[in-house]
Amino acid sequence: DFDFADRVERVEPSATLAISNLAGELEADGVDVVDLSVGEPDFPTPQNVVEAGQDAMASGHTGYTSSNGVPELREAIAEKLRGDGIDCTSDNVIVTPGGKQALFETFQSLIDDGDEVVLLDPAWVSYEAMAKLAGGSLNRVDLAPYDFQLEPALDDLSEAVSDETELLVVNSPSNPTGAVYSDDALEGVRDLAVEHDITVISDEIYEQITYGVEPTSLASLDGMGDRTVTINGFSKAYSMTGWRLGYLCAPEELVSQAAKLHSHSVSCAVNFVQHAGIEALENTDEAVTEMRDAFRERRDMLVDLFADHDVDVPVGDGAFYMMIPVDDDDQAWCEGAIEDAHVATVPGSAFGSPGYARISYAASEERLREAVERLAEHDYI
């Protein structure tokens, strides 16, 4: 018998696991499942990025790099962030194997047992797990009554936060809602963060995937530069999920703490992957535009298709997810939808918002159309 650490026992296995297990079992039986549960773009990594990775590997970029990352990549990241209005240099940047690791290092650097972490629900599943692993206590603000927008929820947020709040997590564009928060909403966050001396994680991993709106970087707002950890990554923008590349940008004193966790755990992100990352940052405008346009068309198509079935979807202006309203027992709805209609989605309760199901539209128009038809045919919508 093992005597497991409290911190791992505090964390539940991912609620999406039940769905992917069901999907896997059905597929093993030869059933054609439309899988809208996955959070990854359905496009190949742009060819020039693949080649940059291959060239870097072939030319010997195969050893460890300096722990915080290859200097040219850190500089390219800092330049990108300065373009977003963030006052930073490469000294503020740690390159990580995925945005997830950057988030993990941030939680571990800031949260002690009992420290309060505020999440805006529905929130991406891993924030809760990371907060709990670090010993944090969760305080959640529900955006569902406000069509997942933050601005109308600012009064609720103001009531939730206090001088006891250590960390607030903001994710715009949002997984799972696709919501992009307005400048007024972000300024409201800034005012509360300054008033109560709160550190804010701004997870901007979907920042390149927006439709007709320009997302604002929280750290670019007056008063936020020295209290924001900006998280980003290459997975979603450049369809590079399996390459594992991301970063954090934070005040130097935080960087030096996170750098200890980084060097004693992952050592560094993969060397040739970091070189491919430079190409991704510098030469992918066309590929990113193509993916963005495709996502936008699918979103619009899906919203229309659901409207035809009287399903009113709160439409977000970014990412490639939407939350559709379903039965109160969303877990049962999702299990039924996969068993009967062979359409895989994720229950909203996994994100803290029961009564919804998350649909990822990182799938072809044909498959999305098929999914809506099947859901309608089996009376799920």
Q: Which of residues 313-342 bind ligand PLP (CB under 6 A)?
A: none
Q: Cβ–Cβ contacts within 10 Å for residue 22, how many?
A: 17
Within 8 A by CB and 6+ apart from 378, the residues are 337, 340, 341
Q: Given the rule CB under 6 A, which of 97-105, 157-165, 192-200, 332-340 is the region that contacts ligand PLP?
A: 97-105
Among residues 39 and 314, whose Cβ is nearest to ligand PLP?
Answer: 39
- Asked if residue 99 binds ligand PLP (CB under 6 A), the reply is yes
Residues 55-84 that bind ligand PLP (CB under 6 A): none
Nearest partner of 22 among 358, 365, 335, judged by Cα: 335
According to CB under 6 A, which one of 93, 205, 375, 381 is a site residue for ligand PLP? 205
Nearer to ligand PLP, 40 or 115 (CB): 40
**Residue 241 interacting with ligand PLP (CB under 6 A):** yes
Answer whether 292's CB lies under 8 Å from 178's CB. Answer: no
How far is it, in rounded angstroms, from Cα 203 to Cα 119? 12
Per-residue buried b or exposed e for 75-92, using 16+ beta carbons within 10 Å of the residue's own CB: ebbbebbeebebebebeb
Q: Which residue has the tokens 């696991």?
A: 17
Regarding 360 and contact with ligand PLP (CB under 6 A), the answer is no
Q: Are 106 and 231 in contact (CB under 8 A)?
A: yes
Contact window for ligand PLP (CB under 6 A) among 96-104, 143-151, 260-268, 365-373: 96-104
Cα–Cα distance between 52 and 224 in angstroms, integer? 35
Decide if residue 235 touches ligand PLP (CB under 6 A): yes
Residue 93 or 375 with smaller CB distance to ligand PLP: 93
Options 122, 246, 314, 318; binder of ligand PLP; rule CB under 6 A? 246
Residues forming contacts to ligand PLP in the complex (CB under 6 A) are 39, 98-100, 124, 171, 175, 203, 205, 233, 235, 241, 246
